[in-house]
């Protein structure tokens, strides 16, 4: 069993985050995490820089996964939700619909996870920062279940979708401040050494989401 926080932002490439990459690794050790997936907004860490950070993490036995969080919108510029993307080698900096994003990622054999699909917006109980019920129409590989901003109602909606779609739920802190890291996690049944293992285990559903604090 291995415990990962698979939704984290750093100030290196996400302007809204206050977390330095170095203190992220220290916090992973402090909170007894086996791994972290870094999911910057709209971009993927360059391989050379990420390799340097992984070298620092290796010294503490922490596995790092290089991902990205992508905002999607339709032709009318209406939000279609945020998605965590893994297994694609370039930064997805363009504008994509949720369907287009899924097709691009799957073409490269990556995975797509609907991030906080039922996180409430300030617009009211039927308006979300995530994809909402759109998840039923998209070729996604997993749904973020445990998220700090998911209410009991949101958790119920995600569990229902997981059951109907036959896909797993994941957990991630969506941390922008250091004390949030590890608050919600994804527990892997098997050992994860790299991105290949990470993607395979999520695709096969050998994971579960947990809220830790």
Sequential pLDDT tens for the chain (213 residues): 999 999 999 999 999 999 999 999 999 999 999 999 999 999 999 999 999 999 999 999 999 999 999 999 998 888 899 999 999 999 998 899 999 999 999 999 999 999 999 998 765 555 788 999 999 999 999 999 999 999 999 999 999 999 999 999 999 999 999 999 999 999 999 999 999 999 999 999 999 999 999
How many angstroms from the chain centroid is the CA of residue 124?
24
Q: What domain count does the chain have?
A: 1
Four-point Cα dihedral 159, 163, 169, 174, nearest 10: -40
Residue 43: give its domain's CATH number. 3.20.20.140
**b/e per residue 97-108 (b: at least 16 CB within 10 A):** ebeebbebbbee
The HSE-up count of residue 138 (CA atoms within 13 Å, CB side) is: 31
- pTM given for the model: 0.96
Note down the domain range covering 42: 2-211
């Amino acid at each position: 069993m291995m415990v990962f926080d698979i939704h984290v932002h750093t100030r290196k490439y996400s302007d809204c985050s206050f977390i330095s990459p170095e203190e992220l690794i220290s916090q992973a050790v402090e909170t007894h995490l086996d791994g972290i997936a870094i999911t910057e907004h709209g971009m993927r860490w360059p391989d050379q820089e990420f390799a340097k950070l992984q070298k620092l993490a290796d010294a503490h036995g922490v596995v790092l996964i290089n991902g990205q969080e992508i905002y999607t919108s339709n032709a009318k510029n209406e939000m279609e939700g945020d998605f965590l993307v893994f297994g694609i080698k370039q930064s997805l900096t363009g504008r994509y619909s949720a369907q287009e994003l899924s097709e691009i990622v799957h073409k490269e054999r990556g995975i797509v996870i609907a991030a906080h699909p039922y996180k409430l917006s300030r617009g009211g109980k039927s308006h979300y920062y995530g994809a909402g019920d759109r998840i039923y129409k998209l070729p996604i590989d997993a749904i973020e279940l445990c998220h700090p901003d998911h209410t009991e109602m949101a958790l119920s909606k995600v569990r229902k979708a997981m059951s109907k779609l036959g896909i797993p739920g994941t957990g991630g802190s969506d941390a922008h401040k250091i004390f949030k890291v590890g608050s919600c996690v994804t527990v892997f049944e098997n050992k994860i050494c790299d991105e290949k293992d990470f993607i395979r285990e999520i695709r096969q559903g050998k994971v579960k989401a947990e809220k830790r604090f």
